Amino acid sequence: MELNEKNVLDLSSFRMITDVNSKGNKLILEINKNYECEVEIPYNVDIEDEMIIINEHPLKVENIKRGILNLISLSISQNLVNKVTNRRTYYIVPPIPLIGHTAFGLIDRGTNIIQVRGLSGCNINCPFCSVDEGKYSKTRKNDYYVDVDYLVEEYKKIAEFKGNKFIEAHLDGQGEPTLYYPLADLVQNLSEINKDGRGIVSIQSNGVGLTYKMIDELEEAGLHRINLSINALDEKMAKILAGRKDYNIEKILDIAEYIKNSKIHLLIAPILLPNVNDEEFKKVIDYAIQLDQRIPQNVLNPITNKKDPILGVQLCLIYQFGRRVKKMKIWEFKKFYKLLKDYEAQYKAKGIDVKLKLHPSDFGTHRRKKLPCPFKVGESINVDVIMDGRIRGEVIGVSQNRIVQIINCKNEDRLIGNNIRVRILRTKDNIIVSTPTQ
């Protein structure tokens, strides 16, 4: 059949479709870089790269195009797979609320920070991961991805509710935030919203997927800070702590240096696993201090009018659904702070001023109006169960513009699509957890 605009469906015009492959009449679509779904086309078509050529009577072509687009949209909503974790992924669009869950959406904990979680799923497998993330997770069964326009739209509502002044959009989550695509667009849109109120956009990253090009784009998009996790400098220990044989610490250090030479503030965030990486933890601190001396940055945080710290050290804790390194000793914060104080004193003796024990005010974090929560702990409510949960025994419901996690479920599949009665167990920070009443 002759090729003309009318009998061709060009998939390259859809932003979320980032690559197209085919096997006969089966389309294999890459969605937002890290996801994939397959669609069987039940019409007489030829597929050439991103073009679907429809070999049917011209009068039927428009209907067939609509039919194909419906099949694609159905497949995205039902059969999307995260290529990084191999898990089923729910593509979150309106009217699914974005408040209520820690795996995706937006979190307001009553400060000037709004946590932005565009996706779940991680590209590495740290053996101490507090959310048991990565390909080999034993507890996570589904991933979530939030449509970029919807995420920005809902973010804007919360920023405005909070007075849109000195707001920080912080991209973090149960996974690696830089896997989000289109990341630069997301950052740029959030940055546009925050800019007038002298707010910022910041992101956490393990650095594995970062490239020079991405950093250039994020700088252009107005990103203020990258909190980069580096937990060891020794090659072997770094690989062990990332849970990946191909983790390349040299590459991460190179990326750190590249960020240091950009307008994005670099914060290095090592985590101490007592009795596991004690020496390496100290080496990362030394490295960060030397890097800061060698390449000082002059990026001011508009919220504080000061430079952010170069280091954001953390202590590894144990979580209910997290992973744990057997050899690790559990420390109290008191002991950790004592260690930090000793390190600070050692640097001071060498004439170097470094602050390791930070206060939220070092980043300009302060209390702000909090979104109201429509539920009370102990209350029984009805919820529409709309999708499967993040871990076994959980499904996800919706009520009063909130996501409601429903735990302790049996036969999750049978609950989806039903309206059930649940008792609210938690409402803190508008993270809503409930349990079925019977």
Q: By the criterion CB under 6 A, which residues form the site for ligand SF4?
A: 122, 124-126, 129, 131, 133-134, 175-176, 206
H/E stretch holding 236 reads helix 235-242
d(CA 13, CA 152): 21
CB of 257 to ligand SF4, least distance (A): 20
Nearer to ligand SF4, 56 or 172 (CB): 172
CB of 206 to ligand SF4, least distance (A): 4
CB of 155 to ligand SF4, least distance (A): 22
Nearer to ligand SF4, 134 or 389 (CB): 134
- DSSP strands (E only) in 317-410: 380-388, 395-399, 402-406
Nearer to ligand SF4, 52 or 129 (CB): 129
Going by C-alpha positions, the residue among 171, 265, 284, 183 that lies closest to residue 226 is 265
Residue 193 half-sphere exposure, CB side, CA atoms within 13 Å?
A: 25
Nearer to ligand SF4, 134 or 182 (CB): 134
d(CA 310, CA 256): 11
CB of 323 to ligand SF4, least distance (A): 8
d(CA 360, CA 351): 25
d(CA 54, CA 61): 7
Going by C-alpha positions, the residue among 181, 228, 186 that lies closest to residue 207 is 228
Nearer to ligand SF4, 111 or 130 (CB): 130
Say which residues have a Cβ less than 8 Å from residue 68's Cβ, sequence separation at least 6: 9, 39, 41, 43, 45, 52
For the chain, the straight-line distance linking the first and the last C-alpha, in angstroms and rounded, comes to 61
Nearer to ligand SF4, 131 or 221 (CB): 131
Read off the tokens for 215: 């950093």
CB of 293 to ligand SF4, least distance (A): 27
CB of 129 to ligand SF4, least distance (A): 3
